[in-house]
Structure 1
Amino acid sequence: MFEKEQAGFNFLKSKDVYAILDGDTSFRSDALDEEVSLPYQSGPKLVEVLNKFGIDASYGSSSRWMYVEALLEHCIENNRVSDMLAYFFNLARFQKEFSGLTPEEIKRRHAVIVEGAIAAINSILFFGGHELRCFGNNYVITSVDDVPAMSIPSINTIDRSYIKDMANRAQEDIELGNFDSALTKARTLLEEVFCWAIERKGERPSSSGDVGKMFSQVKCLYNIHADKTMDRRICDLVNGLNKIVDSIGQMRNKQGDAHGVGASRVNIEDYHARLAVNAAANVADFVLSVVHRAERDRH
């Protein structure tokens, strides 16, 4: 399934798609009653993006579309196409274009332009029977007749390498200015580790999507409770995990890309995003250790 999903992104390999992503092609927005486009990406800027995504590149005589194609190919190989698209669609890229506008107008125009860009890409993919769809900050290529249902993938193996990789990818999002995507990854990391821990006990995770409820389920299954027999300082530390999990879940719901924008959206800085990512990684590592200890004791 993974290889099939990645192969689907090959349908994005088109100069017409590249021209939309790098800001060369404009498209009509009925909501704004004007021609709009994604922010223009110069050749040096695209090289900078390539470098940030781990590609050793330098500015030369290549056409701009060739840089976008090289980036897409790299991201397909490394399962990072969603990160790539999140970069091109990220609000931070629009700072110059939206200068002087009110926050409300910035949010409105950004949402409309990104929606229009995806529609413009789909007008190209349509003739091949395919469509780019967005679920939160995850992008997939599907048949135009498919009605996919996004769900948390079944995680067979959770280890420290997995946690580190997810945290590193979130930190890369922060370097690229994609704070929304970083918060989504922080929340997803908690969700996947909690689901894994619950399934190791033969139970089904809460279907509500509330990471706080999932964490409560984990604590109950593994007896992670602060009680009177524990040192007060340890009790305080364990109780503090509840606040961390709840805060990351709420930040993601209000700030993260999975639920769009709204009146309750909060503004964060890069250090806030780093704090959320690091905190999520620490909680995930703690739960991983608890599960391993419980399984060792059982055997």
Structure 2
Amino acid sequence: MESAKFELLENTDITTFFIDRPWIVYRTNSNIDSLGFRFGVPNPEGSNRASKMSSIIAAAHANNRTGALLTFLFSTSQLRPIITEYLNRAPYSQLNEIEEFNPVGLSGDVSKDIAIVANEIQRVILEKINGILLYSGAKLVSNSNSWSIISVDAEVTISVPTQRINAGYISELLSHGLDALKDEDFDSIVTKSRTLIEDVFLQILEDNHIQFKQNGNITQYRNLVIKLLGMRPSEVWNPRITKMVSHLNAITDLIAEMRNKDSDAHASSERVKIQAAEAELLLNTSVSLATYYLRINDRHL
């Protein structure tokens, strides 16, 4: 169960930071209704936008989903419009109006700069929210995608937990990927696809206490996983299954190649703009591959 202190976020002075510029993308009544539907509140109660947002936070808390809601609100897919304005130096970018807004380390690499600006937006909003929570003796803190409300006097321990990849994790990634499709953020889908497959291979190797060199070589990881799981032609493995696996391996290689040449993760002279159909194919393929290998690993353990 979530901490009851998450109820403090229902304060309308706090919800303003989640629906209004300059802090975040402006949310209309229609946008808030869509957000409510996503988090199980088809018709958010309230006479205005702030009160509707409060009811969504209350419902998310009742369903132990406040963390998921906060992660979604601060996700780059949600913040991208306001971040793009800022990075393009648009004269109407309201982030420029925030005196304490100062993203550090911008390099011109768009994929990296988007993350830097998103983190700075989160930092500034948390600072404002915690200024309000101070009078309740509490503060909202984020550690990766984990959220807590703790005593204002408590020390924050920063750690980098390893999130287990399971059906829920993959479902959440698929949801974010579908959001990216709607936002036409096709390049990031290539990166997400490759990263998911690599992380699945790493998790399988670690679960089975296999020593390996972590160097980003997805082909090396895959070969170790195939050997570990016995995914070779044998009396146990039907030849047609091994043939299918070989095709899956080829798709894995292709995803890795596309990530290296065509995604938002690297600059490349061979870069080819990926379109919606190909992005959706990659997303669905990576999810299918990840699920398949996890199930084979479960059968092996």
How far is 1:182 from its partner? Answer: 6.3
- Displacement, 1:280? 1.5
Match 1:170 to one of 164, 167, 176: 176
**Structure 1 unmatched runs, 5+:** 27-36, 257-261
Higher relative contact order (CA 8 A, sep 6+): 1
Q: 2:104 aligns to what?
A: none
Deviations 1:230-257 (A, max 9, x none): 67955751431431563587599x647x
**Equivalent residue in structure 1 for 2:55, among 67, 70, 76:** 70
Q: What RMSD in Å do the two structures reach over aligned CA positions? A: 4.8
The 8 Å contact of residues 22 and 38 in structure 1, kept in 2 or not, is answered as: yes
Is 1:153 equivalent to 2:160 in the alignment?
A: no
Which residue does the alignment assign to 1:16? 13
CA distance in 2, matches of 1:10, 1:267: 45
Name the structure 2 match of 1:83: 72
Alignment of 1:212-227 (within 5 A): 212=218, 213-224=220-231
Distance 2:286 2:233 in 1: 20
Residues 133 and 89 of structure 1, relative CA distance in 2, 3 Å threshold: farther
Amino acid at match of 1:80: A
2:143, 2:159 within 8 Å by CA — same for their partners in 1? no
User: Does the 8 Å CA contact 1:244/1:279 hold for their aligned counterparts?
Assistant: no
- Of 102, 114, 120, the match for 1:115: 120
Q: Which residue of 2 aligns with 1:29?
A: none
Partner of 1:197: 204
1:48 is aligned to: 34
Q: Secondary structure at the match of 2:231?
A: coil
Cα shift at 1:166: 3.8
The normalised TM-score by structure 1 is 0.63
SS in 1 for 2:26: coil
Structure 2 residue aligned with 1:34 = none
Contact 1:23 1:39 in 2 (8 A): yes
Deviation, 1:100, is: 8.6
> Residues 10 and 55 of structure 2 are in contact (CA less than 8 Å); yes or no, is this contact kept in structure 1?
no
Query: Against the structure 1 CA distance between its residues 234 and 51, is the aligned structure 2 distance closer, same or farther, given a 3 Å change threshold?
Result: closer
How many percent of aligned residue pairs carry the same amino acid?
15
| Secondary structure at the counterpart of residue 243 of structure 1 | helix
